[in-house]
Amino acid sequence: MAKILMKGNEAIAEAAVRAGAVNYFAYPITPQNEVGEYLARRLPEVGGVFLQAESEVAVGNMLFGAASTGKRVFTTSSSPGISLMQEAISYMAGAQLPVVLLNIMRGGPGLGGILPAQSDYFQATKGGGHGDYRLLVLAPSTIQEAVDLTMLAFHLADKYRNPVMIIGDGMIGQMMEPVEFPDSYTEPELPPKTWAATGADGRKPQVVKSLFLDPIALEKNNILLHEKYQAMKREEIRFECYKTAPKNKILLVAYGTMARICQTAIDELEGEGISVGLFRPITCFPFPEEALYAEATKSNIETVLTIEMSMGQMVEDVERVVARQRPVKFFGRTGGIVPSPEEVIQQIKQILASGQPTKVKV
């Protein structure tokens, strides 16, 4: 298939359609409005359902209802909107409903701003709603990867009967890049969706619910969910190492757009004879713990530097994994400010010289 120059938001929309997800419920919010605008035209072409709801609270609950049919459904929103959906997401996790949600993150907290940020990492990976549940969280760093991960997300949602969240950011949503779609959507075989509500025709009634008033039944449900998350940890961890080499003293850890900026910084430093590697988680849950530990504790690595577009959220996972085997440093910009490669380079040089990153002066 030829490459097409597309805006991230529209590429994501088309990727979903190619994955057979033609049912979309959403509410407008910058910086992901183009997804809905694109699908408003596109979904009728493929016999899908497009509905703009009255609020993201309604969106989350429309997804619950729609997913109960067994069909593929999804939504896209941005930080404040995703916050409004947390109750419904907790319910869908508890009721084991497959759904895909894309968070094109923007600066927070509160109304925050509309520029790119990564400050919803905790919400996405530690569970933004109530109860013991997790989302499978994927973090693309290019628009092509956003397309690929969006398609993958629908398979994983069905495979685990669990909500899957893709965390992009305003940059990934708004940027234009050439992307390629596969000629046809292929995926491993999935079991039939016998759990779907299709009408008690010649069978006992089927109930899609997360209510278990009997504590034994509720605990059983929690254990069942937990086993799925263990399975995700065994089978779904994805990450990428970029120019990690024996002569590196520093290991960068970054994801999404931030990782891409780090790659530019690494390439420039290479020209100056300074060798730095990057560890890039693609799944933020399940977090690539063993792989990061292996990279971070290599004898040549002296410092781990986590860089995020937030005040530091993934860094806590990095610290947990590295477990004080190496000093873990952090550098981050927020508010929608996207660090430039030069800033990253300056931090690296600073650490190489004094072992400390500089404090952000505002």
Partner 1 sequence: MQSLTTTFTRPEGLQDVVTHYCPGCTHGIIHRLVAEVLDELGVRERTLGVAPVGCSVLAYNYFNTDFLESPHGRAPALATGFKRLRPDMIVFTYQGDGDLASIGMSEIIHAANRGEKFTTIFVNNAIYGMTGGQMAPTTLAGQVATTCPMGRDTGKTGMPIRMCELLSGLVTPAYLERVAVHFPQQIIKAKKAIRRAFQYQIENKCFSLVEVLSTCPTNWGKTPAESTHWVEENLKSYFPLGVYKTPEGAK
Binding residues for partner 1, rule: CB under 8 A, are: 23, 25, 49, 51, 53-55, 57-69, 71, 73, 87-88, 91, 95, 197-202, 205-211
Closest of 263, 223, 253 to residue 121, by C-alpha: 253
In the Cβ-directed half-sphere of 81, how many Cα atoms lie within 13 Å?
28
Q: Which residue has the tokens 């530990």?
A: 293
Tell me if 280 sits within 8 A of 241, measured CB to CB: yes
To partner 1, the closest distance from the beta carbon of 88 in angstroms equals 6
Residue (of 129, 150, 126) closest to 138 by Cα position: 150
Per-residue tokens: 302: 């002296």
Provide, rounded to whole angstroms, the least separation between the CB of residue 17 and partner 1.
15
CA–CA–CA angle 71, 72, 73 (5° rounding): 110
CB of 16 to partner 1, least distance (A): 15
* Cα atoms found within 13 Å of the Cα of residue 202, Cβ hemisphere only: 0
In terms of CB distance, is 73 or 276 closer to partner 1? Answer: 73
- Give the phi and the psi of residue 285 in degrees, each rounded to 5: -140, 125
Q: Which two tokens stand for residue 89?
A: 């997401």
Question: What are the residues whose beta carbons fall under 8 Å from the beta carbon of 267, sequence distance 6 or more?
Answer: none
Q: How far apart are CB 262 and partner 1 at their closest, in Å?
A: 40
**Is the CB of residue 101 less than 8 Å from the CB of residue 82?**
yes
- Smallest gap from residue 27 Cβ to partner 1 (A): 11
| Closest CB 208 distance from partner 1, rounded Å | 5
Nearest distance in Å: CB 151, partner 1: 20
d(CA 116, CA 76): 15
**269 sits in which H/E element:** helix 256-271
Q: Which residue do the tokens 């290599």 mark? A: 298
User: 328-332 and 250-253 as β-strands: parallel, antiparallel, unpaired?
Assistant: unpaired
| CB-nearer residue toward partner 1: 23 or 283 | 23
What 8-state DSSP symbol labels residue 309? S
d(CA 55, CA 60): 9
- By CB neighbour count within 10 A (0-12 exposed, 13-18 middle, 19+ buried), where does 261 fall? buried
Instruction: Tell me the β-bridge partners of 116.
Output: 106
Which residue, 70 or 170, is less far from partner 1 as judged by CB? Answer: 70
Nearest approach, Cβ of residue 64 and partner 1 (Å)? 5
Q: Please say which residue, 71 or 238, places its beta carbon nearer to partner 1.
A: 71
Nearest distance in Å: CB 133, partner 1:
14
Coil, strand or helix: which one is 50? strand
User: For residues 326 and 303, is the Cβ–Cβ distance under 8 A?
Assistant: yes
- Closest distance of CB 59 from partner 1, Å: 8
Pick the closer one to partner 1 by CB: 27 or 181: 27
